[in-house]
């Protein structure tokens, strides 16, 4: 596959999904993650779940 070097696994994508909430991702990481999310609805769901959790925790005590 020509763009094989851009491919990442779900395991790697999960890590980037968490880290993008804590640090700015590198351009290459952003491209890899976006391409992965385009084809992987499992990781897209996890992306929404991580944001869901963040927003929920911020509401504690409000």
Partner 1 sequence: MDSGALRQAVAELRPMLLKIARLQLRNDSWAEDAVSETLVSALESADRFSGQSQLKTWVVGILKHKIIDQFRRSGREVSIDAAAEAAQVETFDELFADDGHRLERPRDWGDPEATYSRVQFFEVLQICIEELPAALARVFMMREWLELETAQICKEARVSSTNCFVMLHRARMRLRECLEQRWFTGETL
What residues make contact with partner 1 under the rule CB under 8 A?
9-12, 14-15, 18-19, 21-23, 40-43, 45-46, 48-50, 52-62
Instruction: Closer to partner 1 by CB, 27 or 62: give it.
Output: 62
Q: Residue 28 CB, nearest distance to partner 1 (Å)?
A: 17
- What six digits make up the tokens of 4? 């094989």
Instruction: Closer to partner 1 by CB, 31 or 42: give it.
Output: 42
């Amino acid at each position: 596959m020509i763009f094989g070097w851009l491919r990442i696994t779900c395991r790697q994508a999960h890590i980037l999904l968490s880290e993008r909430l804590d640090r700015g991702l590198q351009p290459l990481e952003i491209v890899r993650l976006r391409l992965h999310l385009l084809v992987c609805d499992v990781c897209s769901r996890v992306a929404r779940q991580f944001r869901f959790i963040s927003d929920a925790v911020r509401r504690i005590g409000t």
